[in-house]
Structure 1
Amino acid sequence: MSRPVRVLVIDDSAYNRRTITKMLEAIAGVEVIAYACDGEEGLRKALDLCPDLITLDLEMPRMDGFTFLRIIMQNRPTPVIVVSARADDQNVFKALDFGAVEFVAKPTARISPDLFNIREDLERKVCAIAGTDMKKVLRRNLPGDRPRQLPATPRKEESGICQVVIGSSTGGPPALQAIFSAIRQPLAIGFAISQHMPPGFTRAFAERLNRFSALQIREARDCDVMTPGTVLIAPGGRNLVFRRRGAEVLVDVVKPEKGQRYVPSVDVMFRSAAEIYGPRLLGVVLTGMGNDGAQGVTRIKEEGGKVIAEAEESSVVFGMPKEAIATGKVDKIAPLPEVCDHILRFCGY
């Protein structure tokens, strides 16, 4: 980068402020320009100093993180990483609705040296979202930019596709909500999702998605049967794989391999699904950092399946879709408002 990424740290705990500041200043190309003890002070400094990125606690005196987000997104949209305890899982997704781009899970709600354990995750996400186009982030929460609702009436021709697997990372939760809220009738298709997310958050995320969709959406468990009309979400910190048991297809939740960078792994899920479903599989790569999913896309195509990738124009981070497209194996590149439409068309609806 031509100049340092200027960061504002907002947290009501002095220990957390110092620790987060120390971790940020250890990242090459990052400069902490100020810190604030609550949302009110943070808002003044954000408007005065115009940081490139903000780290934000949600539970604070005087002005909480949600009020801060609402005001800053109306007046000076800025990339925000929420640094929150796992106990605040529902609040994290509410913050994403308000315009936060990413979140990092604190190991504990208590003041603890364990906070240093978020260093790698924080660094990766700061580097990924620095310079994010906030117009893309805020546009995802506008009803007018969501996929159009299609009647779930099968066309005469049979597509053969019976299973959809979706991979996403940064910007993924609002994208997935947009897609599944556009499905208003049950479908004779199974769905599985690997969204990069830490342990402790995916159950609340699944429950949130389930409230907005005609499909049955829940966190996956070992030995779940993959059935039409069901959406299984890989638990945070674990990988989702498929296996056969007679005429049924089951999913297992497995530990990631040591050193695996992206978890739940899109590549692991895609490769496993390709072996089971072959030409009856559709893979979808949405917004996200890194290259997770590219190897899986190649495997899906080798087995005769189809692939959709989100276009750069709507991707909050164009890492995963870009790498998938670079394989030359993607059948359709589409902006988010059209992704649901193309999923249904590929599946014969």
Structure 2
Amino acid sequence: MIKVLIVDDSAVVRQVLSSILSKDPQIKVIATANDPIIAKDKMAQEWPDVIVLDVEMPRMDGITFLKLIMAEHPTPVVICSSLTAQGAETTLQAMAAGAVCYVTKPTLGLKGFLEDSAKEFINTVRTAALAKPKRWVVTGQPAKPSLTSVASAPIAALAQTTEKIIAIGTSTGGTQALEVVLTALPRVSPGILVVQHMPEKFTASFAERLNRLCAVEVREAKEGDRVIPGTVLIAPGGLHMRLSRSGAYYYANVFDGPPVNRHKPSVDVLFKSVAQFAGKNALGIIMTGMGDDGARGLREMHEVGARTVAQDEASCVVFGMPKEAIKLGAVDAELPLTLIADEIIRYTR
């Protein structure tokens, strides 16, 4: 039984969400609260497995409350707010503070929207219950190629190149994990390509936030961007990203297409292209996330001689994607999150 606490200042939202969740026999709403102060009292009586949390509330905002939860008793939190529709920064702050996932509420037609999205919301809560949040210290401010060609057998990559390629794939918990890794890198680092499962319009703000924190330059990838040392390119939400090569130069191809492994961008799309065009000149890293996206692509990288690394179970929020890659024999080393940046620096040397 998944015990859920709903914290929202809207009586309508509390009522509708309680009704939706009660339809699942494996979910029990143990309490609701109209602000975090009341919620803390309810939690003292019975601690929930998942907290559904609004951002705009009286007496204490949801982001502040989220940080307190993660500092004292890390618990899976689903942010349910209309602020995510107005700008990505609020959502990025929530995820940096430890939220597992988020649901965007519309400003109009709220009740109908929630009822129409009942199945998806239930699945979100069930997914959140599987997460293992960690105590995080927020370091930021307040915070057309085809898929067919990617899926084909890799062609011969350059035997050697002076430019190494780093490919990173992650999902649930990845925004925090990427901050830990990328902020630890020196300005002179290999070109890095990142696929983080994230909706469109969010990745640009995510990249901008990381860019303010990192010595390396971080930006959302555009079609034809050259992959150069000291630069991190993050795949845009809603589009795939793959590596291509022209002579000895590497480029990012950003393109539309059907979801792969239910995701767009897909980690497998990136990893398979890196195996094809960079071969043993690449380092592949698969980090925290649910599902198996990236596992097969990492195996292809491994088979052509690339160095491959998985984040270890103890430091993952969700040990899904790394676990599946390990099961396929695609991983050379399992490392805690805090040592992945060191691995990148070591690989460069």
Normalising by the smaller structure, the TM-score range is: 0.7 to 0.9
Structure 2 residue ranges without an equivalent (≥5): 140-159
The correspondence for 1:141, drawn from 122, 128, 137, is 137
The correspondence for 1:78, drawn from 61, 75, 99, is 75
Q: What amino acid is the match of 1:183?
A: L
Residue deviations 1:20-50, cap 9 Å, x none?
Answer: 3344334452222222222222222222221
Instruction: State the match for 2:263 in structure 1.
Output: 262
- Give distance in 2, aligned partners of 1:22 and 1:268: 39
- Give distance in 2, aligned partners of 1:117 and 1:238: 26
- 8 Å CA contact 2:211–2:218 kept in 1: the answer is yes
Instruction: State the match for 1:152 in structure 2.
Output: none
Go from structure 1 to structure 2 and tell me whether the alpha carbon gap of 1:159 and 1:121 turns closer, same or farther (over 3 Å shift).
farther
Q: What amino acid is the match of 1:263?
A: K
Residue deviations 1:321-344, cap 9 Å, x none?
Answer: 111111112111101111111122
Go from structure 1 to structure 2 and tell me whether the alpha carbon gap of 1:194 and 1:122 turns closer, same or farther (over 3 Å shift).
farther
- 8 Å CA contact 1:223–1:250 kept in 2: the answer is yes
- 8 Å CA contact 2:285–2:308 kept in 1: the answer is yes
- Give distance in 2, aligned partners of 1:142 and 1:205: 14
Displacement of 1:109 in angstroms is 4.0
1:167 aligns with 2:166: no
- Give distance in 2, aligned partners of 1:346 and 1:271: 20
Q: Give runs of aligned pairs for residues 169-188 of structure 1, distance below 5 A.
A: 169-187=171-189
Go from structure 1 to structure 2 and tell me whether the alpha carbon gap of 1:115 and 1:227 turns closer, same or farther (over 3 Å shift).
farther
Instruction: State the match for 2:314 in structure 1.
Output: 313
- Give distance in 1, aligned partners of 2:163 and 2:30: 52
SS at match of 2:78: strand
- Give distance in 2, aligned partners of 1:196 and 1:22: 29
- Give distance in 1, aligned partners of 2:115 and 2:309: 38
- Give distance in 2, aligned partners of 1:291 and 1:74: 30
Go from structure 1 to structure 2 and tell me whether the alpha carbon gap of 1:87 and 1:260 turns closer, same or farther (over 3 Å shift).
farther
1:24 aligns with 2:21: yes
SS at match of 1:104: strand
Instruction: State the match for 1:292 in structure 2.
Output: 293
The correspondence for 1:66, drawn from 38, 63, 68, is 63
Go from structure 1 to structure 2 and tell me whether the alpha carbon gap of 1:215 and 1:9 turns closer, same or farther (over 3 Å shift).
same
The correspondence for 1:103, drawn from 83, 101, 104, is 101
Residue deviations 1:286-305, cap 9 Å, x none?
Answer: 11111111111111122221
Q: What amino acid is the match of 1:284?
A: I
Displacement of 1:242 in angstroms is 2.3
Displacement of 1:63 in angstroms is 1.9
- Residue identity over aligned pairs, in percent, reads 39
Displacement of 1:166 in angstroms is 0.5
- 8 Å CA contact 1:282–1:306 kept in 2: the answer is yes
- Give distance in 2, aligned partners of 1:111 and 1:60: 20
- Give distance in 2, aligned partners of 1:259 and 1:250: 21
- Give distance in 1, aligned partners of 2:106 and 2:239: 20
Instruction: State the match for 1:149 in structure 2.
Output: none
Q: What amino acid is the match of 1:64?
A: D
Instruction: State the match for 1:38 in structure 2.
Output: 35
Go from structure 1 to structure 2 and tell me whether the alpha carbon gap of 1:69 and 1:342 turns closer, same or farther (over 3 Å shift).
same
Displacement of 1:105 in angstroms is 3.6
Displacement of 1:265 in angstroms is 0.9
Residue deviations 1:119-152, cap 9 Å, x none?
Answer: 5654444333325444xx11x4288xxxxxxxxx
Instruction: State the match for 1:155 in structure 2.
Output: none
- Give distance in 2, aligned partners of 1:281 and 1:74: 37
The correspondence for 1:10, drawn from 4, 7, 12, is 7
Q: What amino acid is the match of 2:101?
A: F
Go from structure 1 to structure 2 and tell me whether the alpha carbon gap of 1:343 and 1:82 turns closer, same or farther (over 3 Å shift).
same
- Give distance in 2, aligned partners of 1:117 and 1:282: 43
Displacement of 1:89 in angstroms is 1.8
- 8 Å CA contact 1:278–1:300 kept in 2: the answer is yes
* RMSD of aligned Cα (Å): 2.5
TM-score scaled by structure 2? 0.84
Q: Give runs of aligned pairs for residues 228-239 of structure 1, distance below 5 A.
A: 228-239=229-240
